[in-house]
Chain A
Amino acid sequence: MTTDLRASSGTTRTTEPSLPRRRAKDWLAGKTFSAIALLPIVIGIAILIALVLRTRPILEIKPLWNLLTGHTWKPLQGEFGFYPFIAGTVWVTTVSIILAVPPCLLTAIYLAEYARPGVRTVTKPLIDLLAAIPSVVYGVWGVVVIVPWVEDSISPFLGKWLGGVIPLFATDNPTGYSVLAGGLVLAVMVAPFIIAVTYEVMHTVPEGMREASLAVGATRWQTIKYAVLPRALPGIIAGVVLGSSRALGETMAVLMVVGNVAKVPTSIFDPAYPLPALIANNYGEMLSIPLYDAALLGAALILLVIVLVFNIVSTLVLRHFIGRPEE
C-alpha cells in the first residue's frame, strides 16, 4: 500500500518500476503462491491414484466387499480378509483416545487457566518434547515397561474382577502384547498434540469473557465451565481429531507392543493387528509377490480412506455443530 502511494506521489518514480510491471509481478506472485499451496492437494490425489492403480490386481480377483468383510488373512492361499486389521486399527485408536482425552483436557485447562507463568514456561516445553521422541523409542519403552505391566498387573487384576461380567476385560491371551498395551503407548504419543491444541485454543478465548464472568461472582471453575470451555469446544474437538488421525497411522510403536495376531479382538487384553503394522511387517519381504504386493497396497489405501473419511466427517460435524465454518 505504502509503495503505491509513494509511486503515485511521483517522488520515487525513477526507482520504482512502472505500474504494469508491478501489476505483472503481483499477478505472478499470486499464481506462484497458489500453485505451491495447491501442491499438497495434488500430491495427496497422486498418492490416492497410485494406490488405487497398484491395488487393482487384487480387486480384479476379489470384490471389494469381500476384502473388507473377510475374516481370514492367508495371502499365500488366496485369502485376503482385511476386516481383522480394520477392527484392530479402530480398537487400538479408540482405546488410546479414551485413555488420552480426559487427562489431556485437564492438563490443558490447568496450564491455560490455573498455572502460574513460571510453571507454564517449564511444563509446556516438556510436554511438547514428548512429541519429538521417535516412535521406535516409545515402542521399546512399551516392550520393556508397558507390556510386562499389562501382563503382570492389569490383565490378571481386571480379568479376575471384571472379566467374568464384562467381556471387554475377559481374555485368553496370556501375554501383555495387547490392544491395551498399544492404546497406552499411543495415548502417551498423542497427548502432546491434544494438549498443545487445546491449550492454544483456550488461550484465544478473550480475556474479557473471563473478567465478565468473574465480575458477576463466578468462581474460577464456573468461569472455565460456563465461559471458556463452550467457546473453546470446537477447537478442542479439532485437537482430539488431530490426535486420533495420528493414532490411526502410528506404526512402529504400536507394532512392537500390540501382538500382531490377525483376529478381531473382543477384549482390550486380546492381541490386535492394525493396518499400518500389517504393511510395515510384510512390505519389505513380500513386494516381489504380485498379489501380496497388491493386497498390502490395498491395506494402505484402506488406511488412507479411513483417515480421510474420519477427517472429513469430523470437519462436517464440527461445522454443523457451531453453525459456521471454523475460523
Chain B
Amino acid sequence: MKRSIKNIIVIWVLAAMLLSAAGCAGQQAAPAGTKLQGTITVSGAWALYPMMTRWAEEFQKLYPDVKFDVSAGGAGKGMADALGGAVDIGMVSREITADEEAKGAYWVAVTKDAVLPIVNAKNPVLQDLTARGFSKDTFIGIYITGEITTWGQVVGKPEITDEIHVYTRSDAAGAPETWAKYLDKKQEDLLGVGVFGDPGLLEAVIKDPLGIGFNNLGYAYDNTSGKPVAGAFVLPIDNNANGQADPEELLETKTEAMEMVAQGKYPSPPARAENLVTNGKPTGLVQAFIEWVLTEGQAFVGEAGYVKLTQDQLDASLKKIR
C-alpha cells in the first residue's frame, strides 16, 4: 500500500510541475558553434520521464547555458505538444501511428523497456507455471478470446477449477498497448477488469491469489533486492514454445530481466522501444541533444532502470537524426 500512496504523491507532484511548466514553451535557436545555449522543452510519457530528467541533468553539467523544461502527461500529450509546437521534444512510449507520421512526427528510439506478465505469488498452480512457462496462445486465450477461464486449463489439469481473475490497465498507456500488440491486438481488445496505473495493477494482482496482470519492468521488481515485488511472481514466457520454461525464460531477478531484454531474447513486443518525437527532423540544439542522448547519454540508461538499445539500433537512430 505504501507504494501506491507514494506513487500517488509522486503523480501529484509531477502534475504540479506540469502545470507550472505549462505556459512557458518555446526555444531560442542555438547559434552555430561549440557553445550550446537555449531552452529545450520536453513533455510526454510517464514511462520516459525519469530517464529524461536524468539526461537533462547530465547534459546541463556539460552545457550550463542550456536550460530544460521537462514535464509528463502521457504519450498522447507529448505527441500533440510536439506536433503543435508547444514543446521541442515529445516522449512517446508506444509506436507512432500512421496518422501521426502523416502530420509530421519524426522519431528516434532512445532506450528500451519491457512489459512483464505477473501473477500472485500464492497462485494455486505456481509450481506448474514455473516449470512450463506461459505460451503466447495461453495469453491470447485469457486476454483476447476469453476461452481459458480456469488455472487448471492453463496447466492442463482440469481438476483444478480456480477461476482466473484477469486484470488489465484502465488508462490508455504504452504498457497495455505493448502488451496488446504482443497478442496481435489493441488495448481496447484486452479483456479483464481495468485498474488505474502501473502501481494499481500491481496492487490488484498482489492482493488476489487468482489474479493475472502485467507491469513495466521497473514496477515488477523491487529496486533494492532485485527480486520481484513481494507477493508478485514474474511469469516466464515460453517463447520457443517447447512446453517448458528454459533458464533464460525464467526472469527471477531484475538484472536477469534487463539482460534478456537487452540481448533481444525476451520477445519484442512485449519489449518495446521508447521514442523521442519532434515535428520534422530536428536541427540545432535539439538535434545536438538527441545525438548526445544516443551516444554519451546511453551511459545513464542502465542506472536509471532502463534497458540499452543494441548497438545496431543505436546506429540506426543516430543515422536518422544526423
Contacts and interface: CB of A to CB of B under 8 A. Distances in A.
Given A75-B188, A256-B196, A288 B5 contact: no
B99 A289 contact: yes
A29 to B, nearest CB: 34
B80 interface: yes
B34 interface: no
Given A285-B74, A288-B100, A136 B8 contact: yes
B220 interface: no
A261 B195 CA distance: 10
A284 B74 contact: yes
Interface in B174-232: 186, 188-189, 192-196, 200, 203-204, 207-208, 210-211
A175 B194 contact: no
Contacts of A283: 74, 76
Interface stretch (B153-161, B165-173, B301-309): B165-173
Interface residues of A, number: 34
Contacts of A261: 192-194
B170 A281 contact: yes
A143 B200 contact: yes
A262 B196 CA distance: 14
A173 interface: yes
B170 A288 contact: no
Contacts of B79: 288
B5 to A, nearest CB: 6
A259 B75 contact: no
Contacts of B186: 74, 76-77
Contact of A281 (B80, B97, B196, B211): B196
A230 interface: no
B24 interface: no
Interface SS majority for chain A = helix
B76 A281 contact: no
Contacts of B74: 283-285
Nearest to B277: A288
B11 to A, nearest CB: 9
B99 A287 contact: no
A277 B197 CA distance: 13
A271 B4 CA distance: 22
B57 interface: no
B1 A144 contact: yes
A5 B309 CA distance: 86
Given A140-B8, A286-B172, A255 B80 contact: no
Nearest to A75: B188
Interface in A42-100: 73-77
Interface in A164-195: 173-175, 177
B252 to A, nearest CB: 28
A199 interface: no
Nearest to A177: B193
Given A286-B172, A288-B83, A281 B77 contact: no
B100 A174 contact: no
A154 B172 CA distance: 30
B73 interface: yes
A32 interface: no
**What 10 pairs between A and B have smallest CB-CB spacing?**
A284-B74, A260-B194, A260-B170, A288-B79, A285-B172, A285-B76, A288-B80, A281-B171, A282-B172, A259-B193
Interface of A: 73-77, 136, 140, 143-144, 148, 173-175, 177, 255-256, 259-262, 271, 273, 277, 280-290
8 contacts: A77-B188, A136-B8, A175-B211, A256-B195, A260-B195, A261-B194, A271-B193, A282-B171
